[in-house]
Amino acid sequence: MKDWIPLLQSLIWPVFIAAAAYRLRRPLRRFVESVNTRVEQGDPFEYEGPGGIIRLPPSSPQHPSGPEPRPGAQPLLNTELVPAGSETASADSADAADSDEPGPQIYVAHTARRDKSLDRENYRYHRVHVFLEGDDRDLDRVTKVVYHLHPTFYDPVRTVTDRATNFELRTSAWGMFNLRARVHVEDREEPLTLQRYLNF
């Protein structure tokens, strides 16, 4: 029996560590995934001391470093705010001063719906649909719409030509921002420039 005591003593710590790791496997996996995600996003971290303490500074979901979480999401960063429901048509207003004939009455509208299945870490995603509204005769004259999303989107400039959907753009976002739309209309040299503050 005396021969077994050193063997049992040497096995106690490995067995204890293995049991603790098994019992805490989910929190440990979440911790490792969190560290990995933060490193991939470019967040700094420090490795200190012989115990190997990892310190991560708190992340800010409104000002992330590195690439934004997929599928495209933007914070509000130094954008000129346009109140929800208001649109501007700079090309249209310029034409109105030179002509008695009113320009096309076209507006940008949007809907947003919270979708928890898209969430990632602290980012709360919404499905966003942007589309044109207006008189059908005016919308029939539209050839394409070039949407300018926040510059941190993947592919921030997107062109839509589908009249059947009222030139609908579908995307996902976690931050509110000012969207600009360049609406190309038949018989007009310059497109209409419309803006919409996407809030949700």
25-42 pLDDT, tens digit per residue, is: 887 787 777 666 666 555
47 and 97 inside one domain:
no
What is the spatial distance between Cα 200 and Cα 195, in angstroms, rounded to a whole number? 16
pLDDT confidence band for 86 (50 / 70 / 90) = very low
Residue 47 sits at the vertex; the CA angle it makes with 46 and 48, to the nearest 5 degrees, is 110
Instruction: Indicate whether 26 belongs to any domain.
Output: yes
Question: In the chain, where does DSSP find H-type helix?
Answer: 4-23, 25-40, 90-98, 136-140
Instruction: Indicate whether 64 belongs to any domain.
Output: no
| Per-residue pLDDT tens digits for 115-138 | 988 888 888 899 999 999 998 999
Its domain, for residue 29, covers 4-55
Q: Please give the residue that has the higher pLDDT: either 198 or 57.
A: 198
Instruction: Indicate whether 158 belongs to any domain.
Output: yes
Choose the weakest-confidence range: 8-22, 66-80, 159-173.
66-80
pLDDT higher than threshold 80 for residue 61: no
Please give the pLDDT value at position 98.
44
Instruction: Indicate whether 83 belongs to any domain.
Output: no
31 φ/ψ angles, rounded to the nearest 5 degrees: -65, -45
CA distances from 171 to 44, 112, 120 (A): 30, 10, 16
Mean pLDDT of all residues in 77-92: 37
109 and 42 inside one domain:
no
Instruction: Indicate whether 153 belongs to any domain.
Output: yes
pTM metric for this prediction? 0.53
51 and 96 inside one domain:
no
Please give the pLDDT value at position 170.
94
Tokens of 160: 């839509």
pLDDT higher than threshold 70 for residue 80: no
Please give the pLDDT value at position 25.
83
Please give the pLDDT value at position 38.
60
Tally of structural domains, the chain: 2
Please give the pLDDT value at position 41.
52
8 and 96 inside one domain:
no
18 and 109 inside one domain:
no
94 and 38 inside one domain:
no
Instruction: Indicate whether 78 belongs to any domain.
Output: no
Q: Residue 144's domain is classified under what CATH number? A: 2.60.40.1970
39 and 127 inside one domain:
no
97 and 32 inside one domain:
no
166 and 118 inside one domain:
yes
Q: DSSP of 115-168, one letter per residue? A: -GGG-BTTB--EEEEEEEEE-HHHHHTEEEEEEE--TTSSS-EEEE--GGGTS-
The average confidence (pLDDT) of the chain is 74
48 and 99 inside one domain:
no
35 and 96 inside one domain:
no
95 and 150 inside one domain:
yes
